[in-house]
């Protein structure tokens, strides 16, 4: 039995047409095509007679019809890039904390900067012996632009109050100035781009002790292989360019992780005691 050839004018049902449209959208189609190119579309004559579909003038003939002085339409020039602040310099060359904050404009074109709501910046408290470092900004920190805000910040305030400290009396800095989309972990490239800012913030604040909360600042200060579970609660030394002497650093879990288990809470209490003992030694020395 011979198969009849397909009809030159197939008839589609409404369901078929809908399926074709949905498939076109899924493939990226965002507009329909006209049978006549827009540049050759004839104008409606004054008599109201429908125009014929004869091909329009060629590009060479169009200036003659439009007038000898007609010029082709120029595409608008792309916007000029935003001017860099006049006091912006590389993070390593920043002489003040304000200059360091301005240097954020010189960092590579990170997507973090475009997707974050706020930029978290370092804060220097004069004569503060301790500097605390945050981890990747969470949703509340991104919303407010304030380091250690929200529930983890409230818990940190209670933790530090148990040894006579307050976050408001301490220098502080975020590991990254911007929150990654969805709170994901920062990539190695993002950490590398932000590490000079963190290093310089520590040098400019010049604390006697640095306390890092979470894995991100620890890796940015002590290398990609640094593991929080192994180094937590143990003193180490930071020898950064620009420091007169090495600074002691105490890695700790982030307050958001303290409530994970009873052992995490016990570890946090031991770490706080370690910090309090070191501060007593500094005062007596």
What's the pLDDT tens digit per position in 39-59? Answer: 554 554 444 444 444 455 554
Helix (H, G, I), strand (E, B) or coil at 67: coil
Give yes or no for residue 147 having a pLDDT over 90: yes
**84 lies in some domain:** no
**167 lies in some domain:** yes
Give yes or no for residue 245 having a pLDDT over 70: yes
Q: What is the CATH number of the domain that holds 199?
A: 3.40.470.10
Give yes or no for residue 128 having a pLDDT over 80: yes
Query: Quick one: what percent of the chain has pLDDT higher than 70?
Result: 69
Give yes or no for residue 203 having a pLDDT over 60: yes
Give yes or no for residue 10 having a pLDDT over 90: no
**104 lies in some domain:** yes
**190 lies in some domain:** yes
**140 lies in some domain:** yes
For 228-236, what is the mean pLDDT? Answer: 94
* Residue 110: φ, ψ to 5°: -75, 140
Of 241, 177, 189, 176, nearest to 215 by C-alpha is: 176
Indicate the number of domains in the chain.
Answer: 1
Q: Which residue range is the domain that position 224 belongs to?
A: 91-284
Instruction: Specify the higher pLDDT residue, 63 or 218.
Output: 218
Per-chain mean pLDDT for the chain: 81
For 217-237, what is the mean pLDDT? Answer: 94
**115 lies in some domain:** yes
**145 lies in some domain:** yes
For 94-113, what is the mean pLDDT? Answer: 89
Residues with Cβ within 8 Å of 22's Cβ and at least 6 positions away in sequence, in order, are: none
């Amino acid at each position: 039995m011979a198969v009849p050839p397909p009809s030159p004018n197939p008839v589609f049902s409404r369901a078929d047409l809908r399926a074709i449209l949905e498939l076109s959208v899924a493939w990226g189609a965002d507009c329909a095509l006209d049978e006549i190119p827009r540049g050759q579309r004839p104008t409606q004559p004054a008599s109201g007679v429908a125009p014929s579909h004869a091909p329009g003038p060629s590009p060479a003939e169009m200036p003659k019809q439009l007038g000898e002085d007609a010029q082709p339409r120029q595409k608008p020039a792309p916007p000029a890039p935003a001017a860099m602040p006049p006091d912006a310099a590389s993070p390593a060359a920043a002489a003040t904390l304000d200059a360091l904050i301005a240097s954020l404009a010189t960092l590579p074109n990170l997507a973090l900067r475009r997707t974050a709501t706020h930029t978290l910046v370092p804060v220097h408290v004069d004569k503060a012996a301790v500097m605390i470092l945050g981890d990747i900004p969470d949703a509340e920190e991104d919303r407010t632009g304030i380091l250690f805000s929200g529930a983890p910040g409230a818990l940190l305030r209670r933790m530090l109050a148990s040894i006579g400290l307050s976050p408001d009396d301490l220098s502080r800095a975020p590991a990254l100035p911007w929150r990654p989309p969805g709170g994901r972990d920062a990539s190695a490239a993002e950490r590398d781009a932000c590490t000079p800012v963190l290093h310089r913030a520590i040098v400019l604040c010049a604390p006697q002790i640095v306390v890092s909360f979470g894995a991100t600042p620890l890796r940015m200060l002590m290398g990609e292989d640094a593991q929080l579970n192994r180094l937590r609660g143990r003193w180490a030394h930071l020898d950064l360019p620009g420091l007169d002497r090495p600074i002691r650093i105490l890695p700790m879990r982030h307050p958001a992780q303290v409530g994970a288990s009873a052992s995490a809470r016990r570890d946090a209490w031991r770490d706080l005691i370690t910090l309090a003992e070191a501060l007593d030694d500094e005062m007596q020395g």
